[in-house]
Amino acid sequence: MLRYVVVGGLNTAFSLSIYYTALHLFGLPYYLASGVAVLAGIVVGFKAHGALVFKNKGNFLRYVLVWGGIYVGNILLIALVRDYTGDYWAPIVLLPFTTLLAYVLLNKLVYKP
């Protein structure tokens, strides 16, 4: 779990920087900015999670499907909380939920021993 927190933390920092850049510099709406960030996170995260966290190659299609599902759920949740948090803080507020859900799904569906 510690390895997941470290690798996930780095991947999250990378993805959030993409999200904020897309949101602020390019003026994308939160759902597109989040989509771009998820795609960037998929590119970096698949190999990092497999090699450093779960210690196996995993299944890339399942990885994409898991993150696609998390993206949809995250967008729906952002839509619910953004009136209270704004587009900048919504992903941060939802991060504990997203992190735990991603760990469980990746462990059970993508990187099964």
> Domain coordinates of the chain in residue numbers?
2-110
49: nearest Cα among 91, 112, 93: 112
> Confidence class of residue 84 from pLDDT cuts 50, 70 and 90?
very high
Average pLDDT over residues 13-22: 93
pLDDT of residue 112: 83
> Confidence class of residue 3 from pLDDT cuts 50, 70 and 90?
confident
Is residue 71 within 8 A of residue 38, CB to CB? The reply is yes
46: nearest Cα among 91, 113, 102, 2: 102
What tokens were used for 109?
């569906």
Provide CB contacts within 8 A for 15, sequence distance 6+: 37, 38, 40, 41
Provide CB contacts within 8 A for 22, sequence distance 6+: 28, 32, 33, 36, 37
Cα Rg of the chain (Å, integer): 14
Residue ranges in 21-109 assigned as alpha helix (H): 30-48, 60-105
- Write down the pTM of the prediction: 0.84
